[in-house]
Amino acid sequence: MEPQAGEGMAGRGPCAARDATWSALHLHPLPCTARTCPTESDSGRHARKKRSPLAEKETPTPLAASWAPASGRTRNLKKSAPRARKMHARRRCTAAGSGACSAHRWVQGMKEVHRLEAARPHARASELQARPRAGSGHTRARDRHPGWRALTIGSLALCGLACGGGGGGSDGDSAPSTALLVSPGNGWSPVLTPQSEPSQVTHDFVLSNQGEDPIQWSVTTGSHWLVADQNSGLIESTSATTVTVALNEEVAAGLEPGIHLTELTFQNLSFVEPDTVVEVSLNVLSSGVAALVEPPEGLLASGPVAGPFQNTTIPYTVTNTGTEPLQCQIVSTAPWIELSGDTSATLSSSESMYVTAGVNSLAAAVLAAGTYTGNVEFLDVGAGAVIDTRTITLEVSTSGGGDGWTQLSKSVDTRSVYVSSSLGDDANDGLTENTPKRTLQAARPLIRDGYPDWLLLRKGDEWSYAFERWETSGRSASEPQVLTSYGPGTTRPKLLTGDKAGIMSLQNYVTPPQTDLLSHIRVVGLHFECNGYSGWGDGPVGVRLLTWVKDFLVEDCKFEKYGTAVVIQGLSNKKHDDVRLRRNVIADCDSLDSNMKPQGVYAQEASNVLIEENLIDRVGLSNPSIFRHAIYVDSEGNQNFTVRGNIISNTSSHGIQLRPGGIIENNLIARTSIAITLGSYESYQPNSICRQNVILDGKNILPSKPRGWGITFDNAGPSLIQDNIVCNAPDASDGRPIEVNIIETSKSWGLLFVHNIVYGWPGAALNLQYKVDANQDMHLSGNMFRAKGSGLALELDDVNTVGEVTSQNNSFYSGAPSNQWIQVGGSADLVSVAGFKSMVNDTTSYSVASAGAGFPSPDDRTVAHYNETLGGTKSHDAFMAEARLQSRDYWRPQYTAQAVNDWVRAGFGQ
In a domain, 289, yes or no: no
Please give the average per-residue pLDDT across 447-452, as a whole number.
Answer: 96
Residues 570 and 687 in one domain: no
pTM for this prediction: 0.68
Secondary structure letter of residue 474 according to DSSP: -
Q: Of 40 and 772, which is predicted with more confidence?
A: 772
Q: Choose the weakest-confidence range: 28-32, 358-362, 750-754.
A: 28-32
- Determine the pLDDT at residue 516: 66
153: Cβ–Cβ under 8 A, 6 or more apart, which residues? 335, 336, 338, 360, 362, 363
* 174: three-class secondary structure by DSSP: coil
Q: Which of 580, 602, 624 is the last residue of a domain?
A: 602
For position 218, what pLDDT does the model report? Answer: 94
Residue of 680 and 339 predicted with greater confidence: 339
Cα–Cα distance measured from residue 687 to residue 718, given in angstroms and rounded to the nearest whole number: 5
- The answer to whether residue 522 scores a pLDDT higher than 80 is yes
**Taking the CB of residue 825, how many other CB atoms lie within 10 A of it?**
17
User: What is the average pLDDT across 259-281?
Assistant: 88
Q: Assess whether 847 and 766 both reside in one domain.
A: yes
HSE, side-chain direction, 13 A CA sphere, residue 765: 31
Q: Does residue 507 have a pLDDT over 70?
A: no
Q: Are residues 565 and 703 in the same domain?
A: no
Residue 153 has pLDDT above 70, yes or no: no
C-alpha to C-alpha distance for 584 and 891, rounded to whole angstroms: 12
Residues 737 and 849 in one domain: yes
Highest mean pLDDT range out of 352-356, 553-557, 674-678, 743-747?
553-557
Per-residue pLDDT for 97 more than 80?
no
Mean pLDDT confidence for 211-225: 90
Tell me, yes or no, whether 411 lies in a domain: yes
Domain termination residue (choose one: 602, 627, 645): 602
What confidence tier does 794 reach under pLDDT thresholds 50, 70, 90?
A: very high
What percent of the chain clears pLDDT 70, i.e. is strictly above it?
A: 76
Residue 683 included in any domain: yes
* 504 in any annotated domain: yes
Assess if residue 211 is contained within a domain: no
Residue of 542, 471, 480 whose CA lies nearest to 512: 471
598 and 665 inside one domain: no
Q: What is the average pLDDT across 429-451?
A: 97
What whole-number distance in Å separates Cα of residue 472 and Cα of residue 671? Answer: 40
- Predicted local confidence at residue 770, as pLDDT: 61
Tell me what the mean pLDDT of segment 250-270 comes to: 86
Q: Tell me the β-bridge partners of 571.
A: 574
- Give the N- to C-terminal CA distance of the chain in Å, as an integer: 28
Q: Is residue 8, in this structure, part of any structural domain at all?
A: no
* 564 and 674 inside one domain: no
* pLDDT at site 212: 85
pLDDT digits (tens, 9 = 90+) for 717-768: 888 999 999 998 888 878 789 988 766 566 777 889 999 999 999 888 998 8
Mean pLDDT for the stretch of residues 523-549: 87
Domain limits for position 468: 407-602
Higher pLDDT, 719 or 169: 719
- Range in 272-286, 454-468, 819-833 with the lowest mean pLDDT: 272-286
Give the least confident one: 128-142, 233-247, 670-684, 730-744.
128-142
> Do 589 and 737 belong together in one domain?
no
CA within 13 Å, CB half, 163? 24
Percent of the chain with pLDDT over 90: 41
Domain end call among 602, 628, 643: 602
CA angle 850, 855, 857 (to 5 degrees): 110
The C-alpha atoms of residue 528 and residue 565 are separated, in whole angstroms, by 9
If one counts the domains in the chain, the total is 2
Report if residue 48 sits inside a domain.
Answer: no
Question: Do 518 and 424 share a structural domain?
Answer: yes
Same domain, residue pair 583 and 672 = no
Confidence of residue 574 (pLDDT cuts 50, 70, 90): confident
Say whether both 585 and 676 belong to one domain.
Answer: no
Residues 458 and 590 in one domain: yes
pLDDT at position 148 over 70:
no
| pLDDT tens per residue across span 177-216 | 568 888 887 778 787 766 567 777 888 899 999 888 899 9
Examine the pLDDT at 221 and tell me if it is beyond 80. yes
Asked, for residue 468, whether it belongs to a domain, the answer is yes
194-199 long-range contacts, CB within 8 A, separation 24+: 194/285, 194/286, 194/287, 197/249, 198/246, 198/247, 198/248, 198/249, 198/252, 198/253, 199/246, 199/247, 199/249
Same domain, 588 and 699: no
pLDDT tops 60 at residue 492: yes
Average pLDDT of the chain to the nearest whole number: 78
Q: How high is the pLDDT of residue 742?
A: 65
